[in-house]
Amino acid sequence: MDFSSEISFKTSRSGGKGGQNVNKVETAVEALWPVNATRFFTAEERERILHKLAARINADGYLSVKASDTRSQLENKEIAVRKMHELVRRSLIVPKKRTATKPSAAAREKRLESKKRESQKKEMRRRPGME
């Protein structure tokens, strides 16, 4: 699943702490991965990725992940790649099909018993002769 060779990077000046470093050095990194053009996943997996990560995929079909956590461009690249791998890994998980179940006889009985108790409790709160 290591599609790292297909990822391209864009750098920009990062905001936040860093003083003069922030103004001079492009440490913020945006990792871009062409989901449609990947050779590492089957068509079905690509569709799943496109569907699950639609909000993060731009009009050109690139999955975009930004990182500006540290003052090092190299570390930010590594962070962006890690984030991207995690996103893709999570998007490929197929959710289990839910099987409908019915409440057991004991559970139904317990529910009815509880309703009877509540009803009796409220019945006792009424004034006598108000029926």
Q: What is the DSSP string of 16-83?
A: SS-THHHHH---EEEEEEESTT-SSS-HHHHHHHHHHTGGGB-TTSEEEEEE-SSS-HHHHHHHHHHH
Q: Is the pLDDT of residue 22 over 70?
A: no
Q: In what order do the strands lie in the sheet with 62-67?
A: 8-12, 28-34, 62-67
Q: What is the pLDDT of residues 42-82, one digit of tens each?
A: 889 889 999 999 999 988 889 999 998 888 889 999 999 99
Domain ranges of the chain: 4-91
Q: Which CATH class name applies to 4-91? A: alpha beta
pLDDT, average across residues 34-43: 87
The Cα–Cα gap between 34 and 88 comes to: 12
Q: What would the two tokens of residue 52 be?
A: 């699950």
